[in-house]
Amino acid sequence: MTTTPSSPAASLPGRPPVVDLATWQAARDELLVREKAHTHEGDAIAAARRRLPMVEIDGSVEVVGPDGPVPFLDLFEGRDELVVYQHMWHDGAPHQGQCEGCTWTAWHLRDAVYLNARGVSFAILTIGRWEEVEPYVEFMSYTQPWYSVHGLEEPVGGEMGYVSCFLRDGDRVFLTYRSTGRGNEPTSPHFALLDMTPYGRGEAWEDNPDGWPEGRDVCWYWRSDADGVASWGETTRPVPQWTRPGATPVESLGRTGHHH
């Protein structure tokens, strides 16, 4: 039998009903049927994704990295497949003003050794100018390859905020897949973990039982102030930045206009 502990949790505004272990297991097994169906559908979608056509692009187009301009083909590092994350950028903004959503994604993709072991290279592209991007990468202590695609057209440049996949056949390069909208979520395991918890992501769009805590704006926890209080105010940073040496409280996000 499970028991209800004597703790502040008893006063939480909305909790799952308390039952014995056998009742809980029966409900869990019922949900497992749906979870397996969801997994199988995901496998089927992945199979369909592998059957998409592809479009050839110019692999000689130059991107800019720490060693200066290099052809896009070099990002494959000799491998046949390449995955890139296209990081949004606020031109001229200080570190705290850069895209919090892309910070969330890039922070989860700091190490690509398992992709490399599978024969897949990885890089982050951003529309920002390299002279702005380089100190940001150093501040964040990112170790994955970063490149500026400033001034380039899609699919290498253009609109950012997506995961794109490419295939190399000798010196020929092909775009095979590009995510849209919530298609980036697989890059961020915290989403999946939050979805397993009783209160989920704490966002207003979620379907919650009656009496559950009221949800907030989407991704409200992506920024926080110096005290760790989640907020999107002018004195906040993307959450991982508070782990960086020298990160201090800020007076302003220091950005203007829409990011790209």
The pLDDT value given to residue 2: 31
E strand spans, 92-162: 120-126, 146-148
**17 has pLDDT over 50:** yes
The 10s digit of each residue's pLDDT in 43-101 is 999 999 999 999 999 999 999 999 999 999 999 999 999 999 999 999 999 999 999 99
The 10s digit of each residue's pLDDT in 230-254 is 999 889 999 999 999 989 998 888 8
- Domain locations in the chain? 55-181
The 10s digit of each residue's pLDDT in 128-147 is 999 999 999 999 999 999 99
The residues, ordered by sequence, that sit 6+ positions from 165 with a Cβ below 8 Å of its Cβ are 81, 82, 83, 84, 175, 176, 177, 178
Please give the CATH topology (third level) of the domain spanning 55-181: Glutaredoxin (3.40.30)
The pLDDT value given to residue 257: 65
The pLDDT value given to residue 5: 43
The pLDDT value given to residue 252: 86
The pLDDT value given to residue 182: 85
Mean pLDDT over residues 152-162, rounded?
A: 95
Instruction: Name the residue with tokens 């059957």.
Output: 51
Give 3-state DSSP helix, strand, coil % of the chain, rounded to 5. 35, 20, 45
**258 has pLDDT over 70:** no
Residue 10 binned pLDDT confidence (cut-offs 50, 70, 90): low
